[in-house]
Amino acid sequence: MGYVAVKGGNEAIEEACRLFAYERTKGASPPLMVKQIQEQLYLAVDRVMSEGALYAPELAALALKQAAGDTLEAAFMLRAFRATQQRLGYSLPAGTEKMRVIRRISSAFKDIPGGQILGATSDYTLRLLDFDLLSDDEARRNAFRERIFRHLPEGIEIPQTFPKVIGILRQEGLLEDVTAADQREDAIADITRHPLTFPAPRSASLQALARGETGGMLTLAYSSMRGYGNIHPTLGELRVGYLPLTGRHPVSGEPYVVGEVKVTEAEVLARMQGNDGMPKFSLGYGLCFGQNEIKAISMAILDRSTRTKTPMSPAEDQEFVLYHTDGIEAMGFCNHWKLPHYVDFLSDLDRLRKSQELAHAANRKEDVNAAA
Amino acid sequence: MNGTDLTALIDTMDDDRVELLLKLFADVNLTISTPPRTGLMMLAVHDSFATAFYPGEILVTEACVIYCGYEGFGMVLGEAPRRALARAAADAVFSYPEATQVEKNLRACLLEEATLQKTRQLEHAALVAATKVNFDLMPGA
């Protein structure tokens, strides 16, 4: 059997692309509209935007449709689209205390200023299949909507914004110093313009984690939680809400609110010894596009674990974490193994055959010597 | 609400209401100085250590419109050229220092929109408020 370098296959590739698109359309069900994906599979859309590092709900839904539901492929498409767009500007740095909150919980304190707001969550569902959804229709939806509003208690109001839970710890001097966590940075790092270098400045590390792939980040954070590391976190606060995107008006120079962007933010607390020898809590921070709580919590844990002074495990090694959590890079490298490696493999094969020949020859020589 | 606050409502206006708003400018002499173009705004956020970082970019559309020598700027989320033009036109009209009929109509339209959006937001806020936790202490606690 011969192994040779090849070229060609264009027609087969084009047919394969067409077949992939056909698989999505061959069924008898009506076409899935992008708006339906955007509204009804919104958590998948949020995940794609977060991992693609581009907030564009309609395009993320389109990417999900085109990728037949593959979130890695969809995020890749968003990143590719992003590369075709010019950058028009930078927002003014947003403070999350200005977030319009739709969900906010703390596992550190029972009573928090403003209260615990569960919001829309699947946390307390039984994970049992709802077979009624098999026959979902407009009448069922209308009945559900009517029911949910009919049972709404009157007179309950929540403020638009909430103070930070960790502010309580800061006031009591129980939290590490703001300046102690990291060195001050003169400029915000941008890893889309300048490659990561290590040790990465805090802004670069947070940017890399905010673009990370949920599953990869969860794996590393989980390893730390289970004991391959020293971070046993308490969730100081988790919030989901809308941040204003504020730029500057090009004529007046005044702050200009473009719109609102949905984000998830997590702050985890872990024990540490302060610089002055006083035990204090340290903080890990996570924030990503859309509602993706697993990712935000994992990011916060990894932010904290990678700041460990003497890394002892993979999740504490900043370079290891940041180089292995970008889903687009990881899936790209994994996918590239499917490409022809005929020449590489031929080289391996030649060396293996030669090695075997040499081994056989050596064995024969030993046999002859033994017989003599 | 000032002009800038009012034009911000256009970002989340329903499509059909954006078209209604654009009709207000039908007889007005507007010049498009920068046609709508899509691009990216990099979002900067302060973390809990007051370190600013970039979690990602946001797709936006921007446009500029001139009304009676006054330039208006419109930027909205997503790929939405007509919405960006509507916001730029509204900004230009509000920038013009004298009171005009179109400014009066525009303000009325946007105040109506403010009421609509407020109602929608309050409706959702009520659903969220219903999920506020009231803890009961365990006996003996």
Q: Find chain B residues with C-beta within 8 A of A103's C-beta.
A: 128, 131
Q: With an 8 Å Cβ cutoff, is B78 touching chain A?
A: yes
Quote the DSSP letter at residue A92.
Answer: P
Q: What is the pLDDT averaged over residues A229-234?
A: 82
E strands in chain A:
54-55, 87-90, 94-95, 100-105, 234-248, 255-273, 279-289
Cα separation of the two ends of chain B: 49
Residue A91 has pLDDT above 90, yes or no: yes
Residue A207 has pLDDT above 70, yes or no: yes
* The predicted structure's pLDDT at residue A232: 81
Q: What is the pLDDT averaged over residues A334-349?
A: 90
pLDDT tens readout for residues A254-267:
999 999 999 999 99
* Chain A residues 225-244 with a CB less than 8 Å from chain B: 243
Q: Which of A282, A247, A242 is nearest to A98 (CA)?
A: A242
- CB burial of B93-122 (b: ≥16 within 10 Å; e: otherwise) equals bbbeeeeeebbebbbebbeebeeeeeeeee
State how far the Cα of A242 lies from the Cα of A248, in Å rounded to an integer. 19
* The predicted structure's pLDDT at residue A3: 55
Q: With an 8 Å Cβ cutoff, is B75 touching chain A?
A: yes
At B59 the three-state DSSP class reads strand
Query: At residue A215, what is the residue type?
Result: G
Quote the DSSP letter at residue B24.
Answer: T
Q: Cβ separation of A202 and B51 shorter than 8 Å?
A: yes
Q: With an 8 Å Cβ cutoff, is B43 touching chain A?
A: yes
pLDDT tens readout for residues A167-189:
888 888 888 876 645 556 779 99
Residue extents of the structural domains in chain A = 96-331
- Structure ipTM: 0.94
Q: Cβ separation of A245 and B77 shorter than 8 Å?
A: yes
Q: How confident is the model at residue A279 (pLDDT cuts 50, 70, 90)?
A: confident
Rg (C-alpha) for chain A, rounded Å, is 27
The DSSP line for A259-276 is EEEEEEEEEEEEEEE-TT
Q: Which of A94, A110, A189 sits opposite B45 (nearest CB)?
A: A94
Q: How confident is the model at residue A2 (pLDDT cuts 50, 70, 90)?
A: low
pTM recorded for the entire structure: 0.93
Q: With an 8 Å Cβ cutoff, is A113 touching chain B?
A: no
Q: Which of B40, B44, B131 sits opposite A85 (nearest CB)?
A: B40
* The predicted structure's pLDDT at residue A371: 86
pLDDT tens readout for residues B79-99:
999 999 999 999 999 999 998
Q: Which of B53, B58, B133 sits opposite A207 (nearest CB)?
A: B53
Say what percent of chain A tops pLDDT 70: 96
Say what percent of chain B tops pLDDT 70: 96
Q: Are A283 and B48 in contact (CB under 8 A)?
A: yes
Q: Cβ separation of A261 and B73 shorter than 8 Å?
A: no
Q: With an 8 Å Cβ cutoff, is A250 touching chain B?
A: yes
* The predicted structure's pLDDT at residue A5: 63
Q: Please state the φ and ψ torsions of residue B55, each to the nearest 5 degrees.
A: -75, -20
At A111 the three-state DSSP class reads coil
Tally of CB atoms within 10 A around A360: 10
